[in-house]
Amino acid sequence: MDNPEEKPLKPPATGVTIRAMRASDIEAVTAMLNLPGFRHGTLRLPYQSVEETRKRFESMPQGNVSIVAEFDGVPVGDAHLMRLQGRRSHAASIGMGVHDDFTGKGVGSALMQAIVDTADNWLDIKRLELTVYTDNAAALALYKKFGFETEGLLKAFGFRDGTYVDAYTMARVRL
């Protein structure tokens, strides 16, 4: 492959390929973001438009990483690494999600492996941070599998389906 940025990692049992997100993915990613299960684990509102997704993708600051897990030519998961600035340039925040039909099939692990590899081996990130709803058992298990530890509880962090929900702050620190 001529572009090392698009070199796929060893695919998991699901047969997905991890690659950089492209502008041509915007419609499929927007459809995924609007799925009820995907949205349930995020702060996203229902009915996100293609234009909103495109604007967020196009305004992503340099140095941040946006990837997708692709199956049969269609994105089935996405992840983002947002590097912090100044005296926190050693840290990055991450967010990710998996298509409702692909949860529990290794897609999240493949995305997380790619993000952790990029942070550790290409950007020398010492601290990866995230927030996760306390009731998202699958995400909590995934993050713990990759070395994330709970650092705090954020009460009434988000409003979802008519009620306030708590979240954990988690981090993976590599000194």
Looking at residue 24, its pLDDT comes to: 95
Share of the chain above pLDDT 90, in %: 86
Looking at residue 7, its pLDDT comes to: 40
Looking at residue 4, its pLDDT comes to: 41
pLDDT tier for residue 62 given thresholds of 50, 70 and 90: confident
In eight-state DSSP terms, residue 174 is: -
pLDDT tier for residue 85 given thresholds of 50, 70 and 90: very high
CATH (one of 3.30.70.420, 3.40.630.30, 3.40.50.620, 3.40.50.150) for 16-173? 3.40.630.30
Average pLDDT in the 101-109 region?
93
Looking at residue 75, its pLDDT comes to: 95
Residue 130: name the closest of 118, 112, 113, 117 by CA: 112
How far separated are the first and last CA of the chain, in Å rounded?
33
Burial code (b: 16+ CB inside 10 Å, e: under 16) for 87-105 equals eeeebbbbbbbbbeebbeb
Enumerate residues 6+ apart whose C-beta is below 8 A from 16.
69, 70, 71, 76, 77, 102, 106, 107, 110
Amino acid identity for residue 72 in this structure = D
Give the chain's radius of gyration (CA, Å): 16
Residues 49-61: pLDDT tens digits? 999 999 999 998 8
pLDDT tier for residue 63 given thresholds of 50, 70 and 90: confident
Residues 7-44: pLDDT tens digits? 443 334 558 899 999 999 999 999 999 999 999 999 99
Residue 157 clears pLDDT 60, i.e. is over it: yes
Specify the pTM. 0.88
168 forms beta bridges with 132, 153
Q: Write down the H helix ranges in 4-150.
A: 26-33, 36-40, 50-58, 107-121, 137-145
